[in-house]
Structure 1
């Protein structure tokens, strides 16, 4: 059973520490490594371009992150860059590991749609407008003001729709979420968010938000961030299943995918600390669901969605 993971922060760690290595490095320095992706049977991994606050607001760190992607990730023998549905099909047929690029926060684009178009040319295929704060495009989930999209943010969403860049709502304020949902003519994704009715955290999605993504035939990436999974101190894979079950109860069995947030966290679900341990989640899912449903949850939904919504060539 293949695995698709729609969010990790490897590129940020590589940006901040050029001594880290994605392939052949010491265990424990990165959660997601080439060896662990191969061991886990990962079909596709999305690599987020996230720029920390100390470097944010400039284009250069984004470009440097893309360079790390090419030098560290794509240099591995069985990694394949996925930009189109044809790339994805070829990758799956050849048994390689797909690598997709996303942008987590658009501060560095400075409201310039020309830079967004250049990002598309450089392979960005999903974009979240902001992180937890406010920027020129929108307010984030942790911004006390809770405002929605700016005029430039609305233009950004429209241009993403035109280019074929998936709009990621995971970090948006509720008002910004609904602005995107009303404006977007394409399905939206929440790359790494859980159910707020299960765990009450501002980064999780309300039932109404989940139902809207389902109605738009988008995707929701179940994340392993412990404080998004449960308020308990000891969080297990069984706690993650409760989020999957809630989304399925709302009619979203075909909208669930995985969005680990590996390398973006410093605390973990018990025995789920890197891709080679995701088999524990897979086994837990198989105890609750049929093999065909489990396959959709672990990879099938995401692969079908990408085949439909990535550019064809």
Structure 2
């Protein structure tokens, strides 16, 4: 069964360590590697550009991350760049591994829409306005004042809609979430968030937010961050399924995808620490859901969405 994962932070690690490689990498450092994507049956992996606080606010680290993507990821034999629905179709037909670029936090663009357009030309196809804190565009979910979009942030949303860049609401404050949901003329995604009613963490989504994403024909990436999954000391694969089950109860069966957050975490769900272990999730899903439903969650919903909402190219 094929896999689509809509969020990993391996580019962040590759940015910080010039000696790391994506293929044949040092053991014990990267969660997501070329070999593990092949072993998992991955058909598409989204690579987030995340800039750490010490380097944030500048364009250069973003561009360096794009360069790492080209030099280390796309240089692997079966990795192909996905920017359009046509490229996605070709990737699936040829049995390759698609690589899609996203931007996690727009601080480095400094409110300049030309910089966004340049990143679109460089292949960025999804963007989250913030990480957890505030920037020129919006407040993140951990910003105590809980503000919404700035004027520049509203311009950013409108420009993303024009360009065909998917808007990602996973890290936004609740107020900013609702403003993006209202302003965007296109479906939006939460690339790596779970259900707050199952695990009460600020990064998880309320029932109302989940329903709104469903109404807008968006997607929600079930994430494997243990403390977004459960408050238990040891978090199991079955705990992940509780979030899927709840979202299905809200009408989200066709709106669930995977958003692992591999390489953005240093703790793991037991038996779910890298893409090569995704078979454990698939096996658990097949005990509760049909093959068709399991295929939807593992890849089908995300592939259908991208076929519809990536630029035609």
Q: Please, what TM-score do these two structures have when normalized by structure 2?
A: 1.00
Structure 2, gaps ≥5 residues long: none
Following superposition, which runs of at least 4 residues in structure 1 exceed 6 angstroms of deviation?
none
Partner of 2:222: 222
| CA distance in 1: counterparts of 2:67 and 2:286, whole angstroms | 39
| CA distance in 2: counterparts of 1:156 and 1:247, whole angstroms | 29
- Cα deviation, residue 171, structure 1: 0.1
Partner of 2:99: 99
Over residues 126-168 of structure 1, what are the superposed CA-to-partner deviations in whole Å (9 max), with x where a residue is unaligned? 0000000000000001110100000000000000000000000
Partner of 2:84: 84
| CA distance in 1: counterparts of 2:307 and 2:234, whole angstroms | 37
1:83-232 maps to which residues of 2 (within 5 A)?
83-232=83-232
* SS of alignment partner, residue 20 of structure 2: coil
Partner of 2:262: 262
Partner of 2:51: 51
Over residues 204-223 of structure 1, what are the superposed CA-to-partner deviations in whole Å (9 max), with x where a residue is unaligned? 00000000000000000000
| CA distance in 2: counterparts of 1:29 and 1:148, whole angstroms | 36
Partner of 1:273: 273
- Cα deviation, residue 186, structure 1: 0.2
- Cα deviation, residue 29, structure 1: 1.4
* SS of alignment partner, residue 278 of structure 1: helix
Over residues 282-304 of structure 1, what are the superposed CA-to-partner deviations in whole Å (9 max), with x where a residue is unaligned? 11011110000100010000000
Partner of 2:13: 13
- Cα deviation, residue 6, structure 1: 0.1
- Cα deviation, residue 26, structure 1: 2.2
| CA distance in 1: counterparts of 2:27 and 2:272, whole angstroms | 15
Over residues 258-281 of structure 1, what are the superposed CA-to-partner deviations in whole Å (9 max), with x where a residue is unaligned? 000000000000011100001000
| CA distance in 1: counterparts of 2:213 and 2:32, whole angstroms | 28
Partner of 2:61: 61
Over residues 217-245 of structure 1, what are the superposed CA-to-partner deviations in whole Å (9 max), with x where a residue is unaligned? 00000000000000001001100000000
- Cα deviation, residue 96, structure 1: 0.2
Over residues 34-81 of structure 1, what are the superposed CA-to-partner deviations in whole Å (9 max), with x where a residue is unaligned? 000000100000000000000000000000000000000000000000
- Cα deviation, residue 28, structure 1: 1.3
| CA distance in 1: counterparts of 2:236 and 2:162, whole angstroms | 41
Structure 1, gaps ≥5 residues long: none
Q: CA RMSD in A?
A: 0.4
Partner of 1:282: 282
